[in-house]
Structure 1
Amino acid sequence: MPSPRRIAIVLFNLGGPDAPAAVKPFLFNLFNDRNIIGLPQPMRWLVAKLISTRRAPVAAHVYAQMGGRSPILPNTQAQAAALHAALADTGEVRCFIAMRYWHPFTEDVARAVKDWEPTEIVLLPLYPQFSTTTTASSQRAWDETARKIGLGAPRRLICCYPDEPGFVAALADITRQALAACAGEAPGAEPAIIFSAHGLPKKIVDAGDPYVAQVEASVGAVARELGLASAQYRIAYQSRVGPLEWVGPATDATILAAARARRPIVVVPVAFVSEHSETLVELDIEYGKLAKANGAPAYVRAPTVSTHPAFVAGLARLVRAALNNEGAIQPGCTRAACTGHSQCALTRVGL
């Protein structure tokens, strides 16, 4: 008699400090990741130590504005609970959360998954657009840990879903609501719609990372859903750090230009699926002040898709497709071709 099907779904996310004392070690873990800084050890360790020491006071101020901790873990827990409910008809399912740079760490979660003894594992990044700095990093950490602890259950990775219909529907809905709120604050004015994503150093994109192309695919799908012409919106990138050239245009510069033109502004986070410092502080507080100080008659920031029913339903569809091996041409990948590319992103970046 075959063993009952036990499905472990592992949600990958970035993580965030859960107390003021966690800010510096969180930053160190981030910059000590070879997918973020490609130097060999011990140089990477030294650079990570230097950057985390220098940036810790600034970051601590940011997190102080959110009560001293990141909300990303409770937000992700809510998403896991909603996904579990959406998969109630799939069999015995348990959702786990593996954060990349703070608790719960990948190794601890992998051991918990092994103890649960699943028959199969689905790795689900909460990064709709693939990047070597996010999904690839989380996948590498998981696979290295799984080998080390002897976690042998077959696993599939959902590498990306930039134009998944549920994700697009959720983004379109929150954009529509933000536009309505903006119209209430500045009736009759044509708003500047800015889709904002986390930036990347340009050299990473030039090396073949498909992230920017997939952000563009996400925004294009939302624009078609809403009937927006290309002149009605911009894609911009936020959170630049360091001296390297980053992809652009920058979100703050785009907001500044719209504010000086006296246009109301709607900002939509397109690559973040849960609230954290870059939405609650950078977009809401810092860029909100920038917009108002420079003449914007309204500034509205759409919420992240979070537990929007359409987004959760889309995640559930992705999990079911992975379990049914639909389009799985790469080991662990559930997309036959990543949007805008002739090959799966995992193959394209050499993973």
Structure 2
Amino acid sequence: MTKTAIILFNLGGPDRPESVEPFLFNLFNDPAIISLPNPFRFLVAKLISRKRAPIAREIYDHLGGGSPLLPNTQAQASALDAALSDIGEVKSFIAMRYWHPMTAETVQAVKAFAPDRIVLLPLYPQYSTTTTASSLRLWNKEAEKAGLSVPTHVIGCYARSSGYIRSVAELVRKAYDGMNGPRRVLFSAHGLPKKVVDKGDPYQWQVERSAEEVVKALNIPDLDWIVCYQSRVGPLEWIGPSTDAEIQRAGNDGVGVIVCPIAFVSEHSETLVEIEMEYRELAEESGVPAFARVPTPGDHPLFIDALAKLVREAVLRPVGVDCGEGTRICPAQFGKCACRQVA
């Protein structure tokens, strides 16, 4: 019987208040986030994490002191294993980038499982150098260090995967139908510094394609919608428009707001606090007549079926990095895209 290890990549989140500062340090010490050479990056990461920790702890206080991301991801892993029970012995492992279970821990667990093949499956539908690429780079480093040498299939992105799109559309539709009067859908994604995109990162382009596909699936005549970006930090220019500005514009226009976290597939501080609490408060202050947050796909059956389909198709292809559609989808100017061209 073939043994398949599926590695679910995600950001990670602090599990208790005392984990917040080391979690932030790990985040800002990632060269994909701050590109300074060491020891400068280490020192800057120490400074930023110490400064931001009190604010972040207040955010996590709203969530009981820690992030719900790991339990959410564990539920997705269990559902995915059940969906793939017919392809042999399947076990999904979780590799978080900035908090436990960290990649090095997961590599050892996978090595003990002794799989015949590995599928690396980022829980980031849209590819970015700051998320998927960073996770892949660390996985390769730790796997080589541990002597884990197994045929490995990599799903680089799945921005237009039908099951993912349909799961999001179903959740948006429920929120849309539950609101009366004029309403606007804000497809909100985590932002990036503009310079990252200018260097060929395909994330923004893929986010926009995901939103377009959800709109097609909704099939609502004359739907009022826009893509926007949240979670800006630091002095750099970020891609836009910002979610804050779009909420304020909706208030000026007198339309309700439905915020869909288009790039997140699990609940965490940016959905449960930033959107649900902070943006809801901003909407009230801005005169928005109605506000709704769309849940993330989580372990929605359509989303789990989409992940299972991606795994089934990936193991039929040669080892390497492919996008979920089997061929590169990004235009040539996005040179940071890792997906190869498949005939």
TM range (shorter): over 0.9
CA distance in 2, matches of 1:132, 1:245: 18
Aligned pair count reads 337
Please name the residue that 2:106 is paired with. 109
The TM-score normalised by the length of structure 2 is 0.95
SS of alignment partner, residue 182 of structure 1: coil
5+ residue gaps, structure 2: none
Unpaired runs of 5+ in structure 1? 184-188
Residues 1:209 and 2:201 aligned together: yes
TM-fit CA distance, 1:136: 0.2
Question: How much has 1:340 moved relative to structure 2?
Answer: 3.4
Paired residues for 1:1-351 under 5 Å: 4-183=1-180, 189-228=181-220, 232-325=224-317, 328=318, 331-335=320-324, 336-342=326-332, 345-346=337-338
Q: Residues of 1 paired with 2:222 and 2:202: CA distance?
A: 21
* Preserved contact between residue 162 and residue 339 of structure 1 (Cα < 8 Å): no
Give distance in 1, aligned partners of 2:67 and 2:293.
19
Asked if 1 retains the 8 angstrom alpha-carbon contact of 2:7 and 2:94, the reply is yes
* Mapped partners of 2:124, 2:220: distance in 1: 24
Post-superposition Cα deviations, 1:190-247, rounded to whole Å, max 9, x if no partner, equal 2011000000000000000000000011001011111246761010000000000000
Q: Structure 1 residues 231 and 182, CA, compared in 2 at 3 Å: closer, same or farther?
A: closer
Superposed CA RMSD in Å reads 1.5
Given the two structures, how large is their TM-score scaled by the length of structure 1?
0.93
Counterpart contact for 1:217–1:339, Cα < 8 Å: no
Query: How many angstroms apart in 1 are the aligned matches of 2:20 and 2:336?
Result: 35
Mapped to 1, the partners of 2:45 and 2:336 lie a distance apart of 31
Q: 1:345 to 1:228 in 2, by over 3 A?
A: farther
Greater displacement, 293-302 / 316-325: 293-302
C-alpha deviation, 1:334, in angstroms = 4.8
For 1:298 and 1:205, how far apart are their aligned partners in 2? 33
| Alpha-carbon shift at residue 333 of structure 1 (Å) | 2.5
Which digits, 9 at most, give the CA deviation of each residue in 1:49-87, with x for residues without a partner? Answer: 011011111101000111100000000000001111110
Cα deviation for residue 177 of structure 1 reads 0.3
Give me the whole-angstrom Cα distance separating, in 2, the residues matched to 1:160 and 1:203: 21
How much identity, in percent, do the aligned residues show?
53
- Out of 4-13 and 223-232, give the one that drifted further: 223-232
Letter in 2 for 1:124: L
Aligned mates of 2:276, 2:223 — CA distance in 1: 24
